[in-house]
Protein backbone atom coordinates (compact mmCIF):
# COMPACT_ATOMS: atom_id res chain seq x y z
CA UNK A 1 0.00 0.00 0.00
CA UNK A 2 1.36 3.38 -1.05
CA UNK A 3 0.92 6.68 0.75
CA UNK A 4 -1.78 8.73 -0.97
CA UNK A 5 -3.65 11.92 -0.17
CA UNK A 6 -7.17 10.55 -0.67
CA UNK A 7 -8.92 7.19 -1.09
CA UNK A 8 -10.48 5.83 -4.26
CA UNK A 9 -14.08 7.02 -4.14
CA UNK A 10 -17.49 6.81 -5.73
CA UNK A 11 -20.40 8.21 -3.73
CA UNK A 12 -23.88 8.14 -5.23
CA UNK A 13 -27.49 7.89 -4.12
CA UNK A 14 -28.70 4.98 -1.99
CA UNK A 15 -31.29 2.80 -3.71
CA UNK A 16 -32.88 0.03 -1.59
CA UNK A 17 -33.07 -3.48 -3.01
CA UNK A 18 -35.77 -3.85 -5.63
CA UNK A 19 -37.35 -6.90 -7.22
CA UNK A 20 -36.10 -7.86 -10.66
CA UNK A 21 -38.24 -8.35 -13.70
CA UNK A 22 -39.28 -11.99 -14.13
CA UNK A 23 -36.83 -14.03 -16.15
CA UNK A 24 -37.71 -15.34 -19.56
CA UNK A 25 -37.27 -19.07 -19.94
CA UNK A 26 -36.04 -20.80 -23.07
CA UNK A 27 -39.64 -21.53 -24.12
CA UNK A 28 -40.26 -17.77 -24.32
CA UNK A 29 -42.53 -17.59 -21.26
CA UNK A 30 -41.86 -15.56 -18.13
CA UNK A 31 -40.93 -17.52 -15.05
CA UNK A 32 -43.67 -17.94 -12.45
CA UNK A 33 -43.43 -17.66 -8.68
CA UNK A 34 -41.94 -20.75 -6.95
CA UNK A 35 -40.68 -22.20 -10.23
CA UNK A 36 -37.47 -24.22 -9.96
CA UNK A 37 -34.77 -23.07 -12.36
CA UNK A 38 -32.86 -25.62 -14.43
CA UNK A 39 -29.92 -24.97 -16.76
CA UNK A 40 -31.71 -26.53 -19.72
CA UNK A 41 -34.49 -23.93 -19.32
CA UNK A 42 -32.09 -20.97 -19.49
CA UNK A 43 -31.16 -19.55 -22.89
CA UNK A 44 -27.49 -18.54 -23.10
CA UNK A 45 -28.06 -15.70 -25.58
CA UNK A 46 -30.85 -14.26 -23.42
CA UNK A 47 -28.70 -14.34 -20.28
CA UNK A 48 -25.80 -12.76 -22.15
CA UNK A 49 -28.11 -9.91 -23.11
CA UNK A 50 -29.25 -9.43 -19.51
CA UNK A 51 -25.68 -8.59 -18.48
CA UNK A 52 -25.33 -5.85 -21.06
CA UNK A 53 -22.27 -3.65 -21.58
CA UNK A 54 -21.15 -0.75 -19.38
CA UNK A 55 -22.30 2.66 -20.60
CA UNK A 56 -19.21 4.30 -19.12
CA UNK A 57 -15.72 2.98 -18.49
CA UNK A 58 -15.66 4.32 -14.93
CA UNK A 59 -17.94 4.94 -11.97
CA UNK A 60 -16.07 7.54 -9.96
CA UNK A 61 -12.60 6.07 -9.50
CA UNK A 62 -13.75 2.52 -10.24
CA UNK A 63 -13.63 0.47 -13.45
CA UNK A 64 -16.93 -0.82 -14.81
CA UNK A 65 -17.39 -4.16 -16.51
CA UNK A 66 -19.89 -6.85 -17.41
CA UNK A 67 -20.91 -9.69 -15.08
CA UNK A 68 -22.98 -12.86 -15.61
CA UNK A 69 -26.51 -12.41 -14.28
CA UNK A 70 -26.71 -13.63 -10.67
CA UNK A 71 -28.54 -16.94 -10.61
CA UNK A 72 -27.00 -18.43 -7.42
CA UNK A 73 -24.43 -20.10 -9.68
CA UNK A 74 -22.19 -21.68 -7.05
CA UNK A 75 -25.10 -23.03 -5.02
CA UNK A 76 -26.68 -24.48 -8.15
CA UNK A 77 -23.40 -26.06 -9.25
CA UNK A 78 -22.98 -27.96 -5.95
CA UNK A 79 -26.55 -29.28 -6.20
CA UNK A 80 -28.85 -26.81 -4.40
CA UNK A 81 -32.31 -26.40 -5.98
CA UNK A 82 -32.76 -22.83 -7.29
CA UNK A 83 -36.28 -21.39 -7.02
CA UNK A 84 -37.68 -18.05 -8.25
CA UNK A 85 -39.32 -16.28 -5.29
CA UNK A 86 -40.34 -12.65 -4.70
CA UNK A 87 -38.51 -11.42 -7.76
CA UNK A 88 -35.19 -13.18 -7.13
CA UNK A 89 -33.59 -16.61 -7.53
CA UNK A 90 -33.06 -18.31 -4.15
CA UNK A 91 -31.20 -21.49 -3.30
CA UNK A 92 -32.68 -24.20 -1.10
CA UNK A 93 -30.80 -26.78 1.00
CA UNK A 94 -29.79 -30.12 -0.44
CA UNK A 95 -30.31 -31.89 2.91
CA UNK A 96 -30.73 -30.77 6.51
CA UNK A 97 -28.73 -33.77 7.73
CA UNK A 98 -24.94 -33.70 7.42
CA UNK A 99 -24.78 -37.48 7.06
CA UNK A 100 -27.09 -37.42 4.02
CA UNK A 101 -25.56 -34.42 2.25
CA UNK A 102 -23.73 -35.06 -1.03
CA UNK A 103 -22.02 -32.28 -2.99
CA UNK A 104 -22.14 -32.68 -6.77
CA UNK A 105 -18.87 -33.20 -8.57
CA UNK A 106 -17.46 -30.06 -10.17
CA UNK A 107 -16.43 -31.13 -13.66
CA UNK A 108 -17.19 -30.36 -17.29
CA UNK A 109 -20.29 -32.58 -17.14
CA UNK A 110 -21.90 -30.43 -14.44
CA UNK A 111 -24.79 -28.76 -16.33
CA UNK A 112 -24.91 -25.62 -14.17
CA UNK A 113 -21.15 -25.07 -14.53
CA UNK A 114 -21.45 -25.59 -18.28
CA UNK A 115 -24.20 -22.94 -18.45
CA UNK A 116 -22.15 -20.44 -16.44
CA UNK A 117 -19.15 -20.96 -18.69
CA UNK A 118 -21.28 -20.64 -21.85
CA UNK A 119 -22.61 -17.28 -20.67
CA UNK A 120 -19.13 -16.16 -19.60
CA UNK A 121 -17.65 -17.12 -22.96
CA UNK A 122 -20.31 -15.09 -24.78
CA UNK A 123 -19.69 -12.08 -22.53
CA UNK A 124 -15.92 -12.32 -23.16
CA UNK A 125 -16.48 -12.45 -26.92
CA UNK A 126 -18.81 -9.45 -26.69
CA UNK A 127 -16.29 -7.49 -24.64
CA UNK A 128 -13.37 -8.35 -26.93
CA UNK A 129 -11.01 -6.86 -24.35
CA UNK A 130 -12.72 -3.43 -24.28
CA UNK A 131 -13.90 -3.86 -20.65
CA UNK A 132 -13.53 -6.58 -18.03
CA UNK A 133 -15.81 -9.58 -17.62
CA UNK A 134 -16.12 -9.68 -13.86
CA UNK A 135 -16.86 -12.55 -11.53
CA UNK A 136 -20.51 -13.08 -10.60
CA UNK A 137 -21.54 -13.59 -6.99
CA UNK A 138 -19.73 -16.74 -5.85
CA UNK A 139 -20.42 -18.01 -2.37
CA UNK A 140 -17.36 -18.85 -0.26
CA UNK A 141 -16.90 -22.09 1.71
CA UNK A 142 -19.09 -21.25 4.74
CA UNK A 143 -21.81 -19.76 2.55
CA UNK A 144 -21.85 -22.83 0.30
CA UNK A 145 -21.96 -25.14 3.32
CA UNK A 146 -24.84 -23.16 4.82
CA UNK A 147 -26.69 -23.10 1.50
CA UNK A 148 -26.34 -26.87 1.19
CA UNK A 149 -27.34 -27.63 4.80
CA UNK A 150 -29.54 -24.71 5.88
CA UNK A 151 -28.92 -21.99 8.45
CA UNK A 152 -30.26 -23.68 11.57
CA UNK A 153 -28.67 -27.11 10.94
CA UNK A 154 -25.34 -25.33 10.31
CA UNK A 155 -25.53 -23.58 13.69
CA UNK A 156 -26.15 -26.92 15.41
CA UNK A 157 -23.38 -28.58 13.40
CA UNK A 158 -20.85 -25.95 14.51
CA UNK A 159 -21.52 -26.95 18.13
CA UNK A 160 -22.38 -30.66 17.83
CA UNK A 161 -20.58 -32.00 14.73
CA UNK A 162 -17.52 -29.80 14.14
CA UNK A 163 -15.45 -32.62 12.62
CA UNK A 164 -18.19 -33.53 10.15
CA UNK A 165 -18.81 -29.87 9.34
CA UNK A 166 -15.08 -29.42 8.72
CA UNK A 167 -15.28 -32.16 6.07
CA UNK A 168 -18.18 -30.34 4.40
CA UNK A 169 -16.30 -27.03 4.50
CA UNK A 170 -13.29 -28.68 2.89
CA UNK A 171 -15.50 -30.07 0.11
CA UNK A 172 -17.04 -26.63 -0.41
CA UNK A 173 -13.58 -25.05 -0.52
CA UNK A 174 -12.49 -27.44 -3.26
CA UNK A 175 -15.73 -26.75 -5.14
CA UNK A 176 -15.25 -22.98 -4.86
CA UNK A 177 -11.68 -23.12 -6.14
CA UNK A 178 -12.68 -25.36 -9.05
CA UNK A 179 -15.62 -23.13 -10.05
CA UNK A 180 -13.62 -19.91 -9.72
CA UNK A 181 -10.70 -21.35 -11.70
CA UNK A 182 -13.00 -22.50 -14.51
CA UNK A 183 -14.68 -19.09 -14.63
CA UNK A 184 -11.38 -17.23 -14.76
CA UNK A 185 -9.99 -19.46 -17.49
CA UNK A 186 -13.11 -18.74 -19.57
CA UNK A 187 -13.43 -15.01 -18.84
CA UNK A 188 -9.75 -14.33 -19.44
CA UNK A 189 -7.70 -11.52 -17.97
CA UNK A 190 -8.26 -7.80 -18.51
CA UNK A 191 -5.07 -5.81 -19.04
CA UNK A 192 -3.17 -8.74 -17.51
CA UNK A 193 -5.35 -8.99 -14.41
CA UNK A 194 -8.85 -9.01 -12.94
CA UNK A 195 -11.29 -6.36 -11.73
CA UNK A 196 -13.20 -6.79 -8.46
CA UNK A 197 -15.34 -4.03 -7.01
CA UNK A 198 -14.05 -1.84 -9.81
CA UNK A 199 -10.42 -2.25 -8.72
CA UNK A 200 -7.82 -3.73 -11.06
CA UNK A 201 -5.38 -6.34 -9.74
CA UNK A 202 -2.38 -6.98 -12.01
CA UNK A 203 -2.72 -10.77 -12.09
CA UNK A 204 -5.11 -13.71 -11.65
CA UNK A 205 -7.41 -13.24 -8.70
CA UNK A 206 -10.79 -13.99 -7.22
CA UNK A 207 -13.34 -12.68 -4.74
CA UNK A 208 -14.44 -15.05 -2.02
CA UNK A 209 -16.90 -14.33 0.76
CA UNK A 210 -17.97 -15.35 4.24
CA UNK A 211 -21.37 -13.84 4.98
CA UNK A 212 -22.38 -16.74 7.19
CA UNK A 213 -19.37 -16.32 9.43
CA UNK A 214 -21.99 -14.36 11.38
CA UNK A 215 -23.21 -17.77 12.60
CA UNK A 216 -19.81 -18.53 14.15
CA UNK A 217 -17.80 -17.45 17.16
CA UNK A 218 -14.25 -16.09 16.73
CA UNK A 219 -12.95 -19.47 17.92
CA UNK A 220 -15.08 -21.57 15.56
CA UNK A 221 -14.12 -19.31 12.64
CA UNK A 222 -10.45 -19.66 13.50
CA UNK A 223 -10.62 -23.45 13.89
CA UNK A 224 -13.13 -24.43 11.19
CA UNK A 225 -13.20 -21.75 8.51
CA UNK A 226 -9.92 -19.86 8.44
CA UNK A 227 -8.04 -22.89 7.00
CA UNK A 228 -10.56 -22.88 4.13
CA UNK A 229 -10.13 -19.16 3.44
CA UNK A 230 -6.36 -19.68 3.55
CA UNK A 231 -6.66 -22.42 0.88
CA UNK A 232 -8.56 -20.03 -1.38
CA UNK A 233 -5.88 -17.37 -0.91
CA UNK A 234 -3.18 -19.90 -1.75
CA UNK A 235 -4.96 -20.87 -4.97
CA UNK A 236 -4.98 -17.38 -6.53
CA UNK A 237 -2.41 -14.62 -6.80
CA UNK A 238 -4.84 -11.88 -5.75
CA UNK A 239 -7.70 -12.78 -3.40
CA UNK A 240 -10.21 -10.36 -1.92
CA UNK A 241 -12.72 -11.50 0.72
CA UNK A 242 -16.20 -10.01 1.06
CA UNK A 243 -17.94 -9.88 4.42
CA UNK A 244 -20.36 -7.69 6.37
CA UNK A 245 -20.01 -5.30 9.27
CA UNK A 246 -22.03 -7.75 11.39
CA UNK A 247 -19.22 -10.31 11.00
CA UNK A 248 -16.26 -8.14 12.00
CA UNK A 249 -16.22 -9.16 15.66
CA UNK A 250 -15.91 -12.77 14.50
CA UNK A 251 -13.39 -12.42 11.68
CA UNK A 252 -11.12 -9.40 12.02
CA UNK A 253 -8.21 -10.89 13.97
CA UNK A 254 -8.16 -14.09 11.93
CA UNK A 255 -8.37 -12.33 8.57
CA UNK A 256 -5.42 -10.10 9.37
CA UNK A 257 -3.36 -13.23 10.08
CA UNK A 258 -3.88 -14.57 6.52
CA UNK A 259 -0.74 -13.29 4.82
CA UNK A 260 -1.82 -14.05 1.24
CA UNK A 261 -5.17 -12.29 1.62
CA UNK A 262 -4.70 -9.17 -0.51
CA UNK A 263 -7.74 -7.09 0.48
CA UNK A 264 -10.88 -7.06 2.60
CA UNK A 265 -14.25 -5.74 1.45
CA UNK A 266 -16.87 -4.90 4.07
CA UNK A 267 -20.52 -4.19 3.28
CA UNK A 268 -21.90 -1.79 5.86
CA UNK A 269 -25.20 -3.32 6.98
CA UNK A 270 -28.26 -1.09 6.87
CA UNK A 271 -30.63 -1.40 8.51
CA UNK A 272 -28.77 -3.46 11.07
CA UNK A 273 -27.77 -3.81 14.66
CA UNK A 274 -24.41 -2.09 14.16
CA UNK A 275 -23.58 1.44 13.04
CA UNK A 276 -20.41 2.77 11.43
CA UNK A 277 -19.37 4.07 14.85
CA UNK A 278 -19.87 0.59 16.39
CA UNK A 279 -17.52 -1.11 13.93
CA UNK A 280 -15.03 1.71 13.49
CA UNK A 281 -12.40 0.04 15.76
CA UNK A 282 -12.43 -3.02 13.48
CA UNK A 283 -12.33 -0.90 10.32
CA UNK A 284 -9.35 1.04 11.69
CA UNK A 285 -7.48 -2.18 12.47
CA UNK A 286 -8.10 -3.57 8.99
CA UNK A 287 -7.21 -0.23 7.42
CA UNK A 288 -3.82 -0.33 9.11
CA UNK A 289 -2.88 -3.78 7.76
CA UNK A 290 -4.77 -4.52 4.52
CA UNK A 291 -6.35 -2.65 1.62
CA UNK A 292 -9.96 -2.02 2.67
CA UNK A 293 -12.99 -1.63 0.40
CA UNK A 294 -16.18 -0.29 1.98
CA UNK A 295 -19.57 -0.52 0.28
CA UNK A 296 -23.13 0.19 1.36
CA UNK A 297 -25.35 3.07 2.43
CA UNK A 298 -24.08 5.78 4.79
CA UNK A 299 -25.24 9.18 5.99
CA UNK A 300 -23.19 12.28 5.23
CA UNK A 301 -22.09 12.30 8.88
CA UNK A 302 -20.90 8.69 8.61
CA UNK A 303 -19.05 9.43 5.38
CA UNK A 304 -17.31 12.35 7.08
CA UNK A 305 -16.43 10.08 10.00
CA UNK A 306 -14.88 7.50 7.67
CA UNK A 307 -12.83 10.14 5.87
CA UNK A 308 -11.70 11.77 9.10
CA UNK A 309 -10.84 8.52 10.92
CA UNK A 310 -9.41 6.12 8.34
CA UNK A 311 -6.15 6.47 6.45
CA UNK A 312 -6.55 6.99 2.69
CA UNK A 313 -3.74 4.47 2.23
CA UNK A 314 -5.30 1.38 0.63
CA UNK A 315 -8.82 2.69 1.25
CA UNK A 316 -11.63 2.42 -1.31
CA UNK A 317 -15.09 3.90 -0.67
CA UNK A 318 -17.90 2.76 -2.99
CA UNK A 319 -20.89 4.12 -1.09
CA UNK A 320 -24.45 5.38 -1.40
CA UNK A 321 -25.71 8.34 0.59
CA UNK A 322 -28.92 7.87 2.59
CA UNK A 323 -31.01 10.21 4.70
CA UNK A 324 -30.25 10.55 8.44
Give the orientation angle of helix 300-309 with respect to helix 276-289, to 10 degrees.
30
Contact 117, 48 (CB under 8 A): no
Give the predicted TM-score (pTM) of the model. 0.95
Sign of the Cα torsion 148, 152, 157, 158 reads: positive
pLDDT tens, residue by residue, 246-295: 999 999 999 999 999 999 999 999 887 678 999 999 999 999 999 999 99
Query: Rounded distance, CA 101 to CA 118, Å?
Result: 28
Write out the H or E segment, with its range, that includes residue 78.
helix 73-78
Per-residue model confidence as pLDDT tens for the chain (324 residues): 788 999 999 999 888 767 678 899 999 999 999 999 999 999 999 999 998 889 889 999 999 999 999 999 999 999 999 999 988 999 999 999 999 999 988 888 999 999 999 999 999 999 999 999 999 999 999 999 999 999 999 999 999 999 999 999 999 999 999 999 999 999 999 999 999 999 999 999 999 999 999 999 999 999 999 999 999 999 999 999 999 999 999 999 999 999 999 999 999 998 876 789 999 999 999 999 999 999 999 999 999 999 999 999 999 999 999 987
**What CATH number does the domain located at 11-321 have?**
3.20.20.210
Amino acid sequence: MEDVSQPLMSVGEYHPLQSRRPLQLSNGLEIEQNTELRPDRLDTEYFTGLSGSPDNAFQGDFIRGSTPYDICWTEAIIGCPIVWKAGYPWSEPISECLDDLTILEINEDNPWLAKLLDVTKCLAEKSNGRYPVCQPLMRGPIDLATAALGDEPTVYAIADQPAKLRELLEECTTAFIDIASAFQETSGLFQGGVVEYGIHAPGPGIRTQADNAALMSPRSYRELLRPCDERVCEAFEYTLIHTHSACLRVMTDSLLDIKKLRAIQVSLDYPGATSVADVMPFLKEMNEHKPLVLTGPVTQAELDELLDTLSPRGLCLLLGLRED
